[in-house]
Structure 1
Amino acid sequence: MAARIRRSEDAAPDPTSQAAPFQRQRGAEGTSEPATNTISPRIAVALHDGYYGCTSGTGFSNRAFLEVLTRTLPPRRLLVMPVHISRSDRSYDPVWVAQTKEMLRRAGAEVVPVPGGRAATAALAGCEALCELVMEVTREHLADAPMAQLIGLDVPFLGLGSHFRADDPFGLLLLPRSTSELASPEDHRRIRWERKGLTAAVRGGARVAAISHHMRGHLEQVYGIPRRAVVDLPNGLLLSDHEDVAPVPLPPQAEAGFLLAMGRAVESKGFEDLLEALRILAEQGERVPHLLLAPTTHAEAPTDYQRRLQAIIDDYSIDATLLPRFSPQYRSWLRSPVLRGVVVPSRAEPFGRIPLEAFASGAAPVVATRAGGLTETVIDEVTGFTAEARDPMDLAHAIRRALHITAPDREQMRARSRALLAARHDYEATIRSYLRQYTPWALALSAPLRSGA
């Protein structure tokens, strides 16, 4: 169900009320909504990463999603509900926040931070509480909208369906960028919670978005989502994102040439397999350039996984620099003229944003495993080189091919990569297509008068 019509007996909320603990906003904190005699359709978005900063590719994708909505929806149609992150949190990025607020201010968007902090999204009980709070905020702020939809971006909001009521004056779209079954299959409680929430959502008429063909199959086969309830909303990039990326100096060890691998510091990213592949290449006499390895978190101290990776680097005497703290600036290295290759050694991958980042930046070649959504972007000897997941020997072979690519072949691969990006993964075109098909009322310039006005 794309939207629900508000019942005439629903009472309009007092626009001057301040319902704690939520803070009303219009585009920037502390400002209020101007009076109007019209009630417009609304799109509401709940997100946990991408407003106060970015901790992974999810944050980049979430903010890109918001940016497309601000460009596409008429003014004052957008309600944004970010999980609040305090300034003292290491992931809080004041420059990022300022840019996001300005973007939303220009669109006349209403922003209502939801209490919780990053800890709330890490614990199952915290996610359940967030879902309940988001539903309360949405009901309050969308009660008068003639047509409305709530969009929950990613895993912490997969429980929204359990709080979705038949009389809610809005439709629901859930957009999981991954699942616990993919990221942490040992966490059975969280998987059950996600399955319960998704099932309840679909039963209530909600749709579930698939960010790749792989994720569509995963949602249908593993989580039991009916095919009719899944909509294709493939992930991608805003094609202008990388045009003005500021360069960041390379570590001195990488200045003569380097490989780059980055992602969240979790085992599913396969960084141990990459290090084993480099050991194999060294034993075979292959001259391997310096590796910039960025398995990142925002934690103060290294995680057990990061320490394990460093121990492998030391034990194998691999020429590598481990970068444990996340920084969006690492992506500037994709434009370096001495970059020899980008390696994505994932064991499981719902989509895989890093190859697209590389394509947009002109980085080539990309070496990736044939895991999940990566098969849709990295095509062997067309847009990159591929290897079986969890197979260091095959990964070593793919890296060797990448290191020996000729200059003409590299240029041809770069051109094909950019063509694939533009043809299949223009995120702005994808989101606009979804809005036209499923929420055309949100794009209409006219809006009905408030009842009794």
Structure 2
Amino acid sequence: MAVQPHNSHHVIPLVPGDAVPVQRQPRSGRSADSASGTTQPRIAVALHDGYYGCTSGTGFSNRAFLEVLTRTLPPGCLQIMPLHIPSTDPSYDPIWVAETERLVQRAEAEVVPVPGDRAATAGLAGCDALCKYVIEVARERLARASVAQLIGLDIPFLGLGLHRRPNDPFSLFLVPRSTSELASPEDRRRIRWEHKGLAAAVNGGARVAAISHHMRSHLEHAYGIPGHAIFDLPNGLLLSDQQDAPVAPLPPRAEAGFLLAMGRAVESKGFEDLLEALHLLGAQGTRVPHLVLAASTHTDDLTAYQRRLRATVRDYGLDATFLARFSPQYRSWLRSPALRAVVVPSRAEPFGRIPLEAFAAGAAPVVATRAGGLTETVIDGETGFTAKSSDPIDLGRAIKHALHMSSQEREQMRSRSRALLSTRHDYDATIRTYLRQHTPWAMALSTAERTRV
């Protein structure tokens, strides 16, 4: 086993010491003076991951969401409110930031960083302070727009409805990529806050996105959101951007063939089930390729869960490389000719982005559990192989099946996977559909802009 480092209204009261100071931050992109003086339509987007770097699939999805808006909206229509991440933070990625800023400049967007850094999303009080700050900024910045909408991306902004007033000059659209009911069911206080925030938002006329059929059902039944307030916005990829970047160097022992599993280092990702499944396969005499396990965080120190995974790899004597520090480069291994299978062993999954990335890269087969949104993309025998969640024996069976498929079967699976990706998970088309149906005013060029074009 090797550990590879990364190179490259009802207001919840704030808890003393946990609150995020509300201080104005420097702005970039479009000047504040010109933006605040405009009367054109505006769309504002608040996000906590994906602007300064990426720590999970959420960051990739959020950046893709921003990219579609920069391609679609007229110049000067977009305002971005990212949670500010300083350059000293381990998750800050200078190359990523440079690419994001090119998008911003192309759209002539106004950027208003939200103070608090990554610690602001760790606690309930921090998230509530973020929501209050974003609403105050939107109230100020969007006041002179002819019509406006505020979009909150993911869990930290599910409380925006608690701070919005009936006379605020913008509508509200929330895009939860997960919920605390799914991600941290033990945190009942935070779950209650999400319930109150979503209820307040919907009662005020907001719409809530469902990134999968599973999430629609979850939002309706676990959070009580009426179906008419939910807009189906299936997560996806920007198909036009699926370019072949160089494949990063593999861990040496993976070059002869490997399994790949990656994701946030949290128990809901089911990595312990995967290690148990591989141990059982080995005990049965099945020859298992080298495992590259990127159960990662954006920090240098191992979490208790990562230490437990590393100890399991050692105790079972598994042939594996354990990667603890997140890197976007890991996804390039989906295009490696040495890849034997991609394994997604989640115990709970609102959507599951990794199978789509594998489909786009031509990686096959994908082995995934039948958890949540994964059932919508990984179809047993069609686009991959599936197993019952939290069941290492069944997961081992599916992995064994994947390892013994023929080249012809593998190619047929690639073809079906790409077809599914293009027909349902073209994120550009999905977001444009939302804009056309619910914010058509944001897509129309003003007279001055038509003249400029």
Are 1:47 and 2:52 matched, yes or no? Answer: no
Asked whether the 8 Å contact 2:262–2:295 carries over to 1, the reply is yes
Determine the structure 2 residue equivalent to 1:110: 110
Q: CA deviation at 1:26?
A: 2.6
Q: Map residues 34-433 of structure 1 onto 2, 5 A cutoff.
A: 34=34, 39-433=39-433
Distance (whole Å) between structure 2 residues aligned to residue 172 and residue 143 of structure 1: 14
C-alpha separation in 2, matches of 1:35 and 1:420: 41
Give 1:378 shift. Answer: 0.2
Structure 1: give runs of 5+ residues left out of the alignment: 1-18
Q: Secondary structure at the match of 2:209?
A: strand
Cα distance in 2 between the residues matched to 1:33 and 1:136? 17
Provide Cα deviations, 1:241-261, integer angstroms capped at 9, x if missing partner.
331322100010100000000
- After superposition, the C-alpha distances for 1:387-435 in whole angstroms (9 at most, x for unaligned) are 0000100000000000001000000000100010000000000000000
Q: Match of 2:379, as an amino acid? A: I
Deviation, 1:60, is: 0.3
Code of the residue aligned with 2:176 in structure 1: it is P
Q: Distance in 1 between matches of 2:298 and 2:212?
A: 28
In structure 2, C-alpha distance between the alignment counterparts of 1:37 and 1:87, rounded to whole Å:
31
**Partner residue of 1:3?**
none
CA distance in 1, matches of 2:105, 2:218: 37
> Aligned residue for 2:18?
none
> Partners of 1:141 and 1:32 in 2: how far apart?
9
Moved over 3 A (4+): 31-38
Q: In structure 2, what is the Cα distance between the partners aligned to 1:347 and 1:212?
A: 16
In 2, distance between residues paired with 1:20 and 1:260? 43
The 2-side partners of 1:171 and 1:292 are apart by: 45
Quote the residue 1:444 is aligned against.
Answer: 444
Query: For 1:162-213, what per-residue CA distance to the aligned partner results, in whole angstroms no more than 9, with x for missing partners?
Result: 0011000000001000001101111111101111100000011111100000
Q: Find the aligned partners of 2:372 and 2:274 in 1 and give their Cα distance.
A: 18
Matched residue type, 1:341: A
Q: CA deviation at 1:36?
A: 9.9
TM-score of the two chains, using structure 2 as the length reference: 0.92
Given that residues 298 and 325 in structure 2 are in contact (C-alpha distance below 8 angstroms), is that contact kept between their aligned partners in structure 1? Answer: yes
Deviation at 1:20, TM superposition (A): 5.4
Alpha-carbon distance in 2 for matches of 1:37, 1:78 = 14
Percent of paired sites with the same residue:
72
Question: Which residue of structure 1 aligns with residue 24 of structure 2?
Answer: 21
* CA spacing shift, 1:441–1:275, aligned 2, 3 Å: same
Give the Cα separation in 2 of the matches to 1:166 and 1:292: 51
Structure 1: distance between partners of 2:38 and 2:381:
56
Shift of 1:23: 2.8
Could you tell me which amino acid in structure 2 is paired with residue 102 of structure 1? R
RMSD: 1.5
Matched residue type, 2:79: L
